[in-house]
Amino acid sequence: MRRTSLAVMLIAAMALATVGSGVLTPGAALAEPVAVLDMDDPAGDDFGPGTYVYPTHKAFVAGLFDLTHFKVSYDPEYVYFDATFREVTNPWNAPEGFSHQLINIYIDTTRGAGRTDTLRKGALVTFDKRYAWDLFIKALGWGGCRVFTAQDAPEARGISDGLSASVLGDGKTIRIAVPKAVIGEPGRNWGYYVLVGSQDAFGDDDFRPVMEKAGSWVFGGGSDLEVNPSVIDMLAPTRGRGSQERLLGSYNVERGTLAVLMPVFAGAAGGQAASPAAIGVAVVILVAAGVVAWWVKRRRPTPPPRA
């Protein structure tokens, strides 16, 4: 009897450990970063609110500003923000490996704190007051990666120590690595505004403007009144109230009001959980434990009745 219980407990512990390894990622999987947000963005929506067209210069090849996937993960030292695009090119030899993309990640880490306008004028958007941002990560070529906080003044230089941007081996993913010491470990409640623009050293906050008509170096499909967003793509669900078209199209030229954006959350995209494989193995082990217990019980002779 005692031996049976011990065997069942041992097998159950093995099952729990199997599931646990998928949830908590301890020792064995330490080298692999823990994912907290892993989400597709529709392909072919590099048109802002639905009307934008690329500048006409041949350097602006199709897909440069079309975000297709976004992932946030961390290891003991860094938080990684991986933005995948339909196309990444480097015609002007930026040391980071990409010449065009300007990535702005505004993060709501703390409910009830933060701000709803951008740090500097440039993106021409505002943020939902329920999800005011606390951290702002700006990434672009030529040493432009910085972290800012909601308390920073517009002219603040931000933190650049330990930050880097580079293109991963697939040639399409820009990885922004930020030391955990700077921004902390991503919480499950963090909300992310991921905005993609075109880097322009002469533009406000490095954004290439979107005018009414496209030119060699400006996008078309907006207005000339500095009211429409300079954001060409943003991470958002395909449809519904939180769609990109609705959010980026929520500006009003007559009233001169900027678009109001909503963040995406790790929970909505299925954050870190036990993998199906780990759950499968655990179920098999638990069933095996049950069978063993039943078999042992069956073999045990029933004690003779007391006299």
Residues binding Ca ion (CB under 5 A): 41, 45, 66-67, 233, 244
CB 67 → Ca ion: shortest distance, Å? 4
CB 33 → Ca ion: shortest distance, Å? 23
CB 158 → Ca ion: shortest distance, Å? 26
**Nearest CB to Ca ion, comparing residues 203 and 237:** 237
Helix axes 276-299, 2-24, angle to 10 degrees: 180
**Nearest CB to Ca ion, comparing residues 47 and 148:** 47
Pair type for strands 264-265 and 135-139? unpaired
CB 125 → Ca ion: shortest distance, Å? 14
| Dist CA 211 CA 99 (whole Å) | 21
Q: Which amino acid is at 221?
A: G
Q: Which amino acid is at 71?
A: K
Around Cβ 238, how many Cβ atoms within 10 Å? 12
Place of tokens 């963005």: 41
| Dist CA 191 CA 109 (whole Å) | 7
**Nearest CB to Ca ion, comparing residues 66 and 206:** 66
**Nearest CB to Ca ion, comparing residues 163 and 231:** 231
CB 250 → Ca ion: shortest distance, Å? 15
CB 95 → Ca ion: shortest distance, Å? 26
**Nearest CB to Ca ion, comparing residues 81 and 148:** 81
Tell me which residue of 108, 297, 115 sits closest to 192, measured CA to CA: 108
3-class secondary structure, 260: strand
| Dist CA 131 CA 113 (whole Å) | 9
Place of tokens 């120590």: 161
CB 237 → Ca ion: shortest distance, Å? 9
Q: Closest-CB residue for Ca ion?
A: 41
**Nearest CB to Ca ion, comparing residues 228 and 244:** 244
**Nearest CB to Ca ion, comparing residues 63 and 97:** 63
CB 46 → Ca ion: shortest distance, Å? 6
Q: Which amino acid is at 252?
A: N
| DSSP 8-state secondary structure symbol assigned to residue 285 | H
**Nearest CB to Ca ion, comparing residues 22 and 221:** 221
| DSSP 8-state secondary structure symbol assigned to residue 27 | G
Tell me which residue of 92, 73, 106 sits closest to 197, measured CA to CA: 106
Cβ-Cβ contacts under 8 Å for 299 (sequence gap 6 or more): none
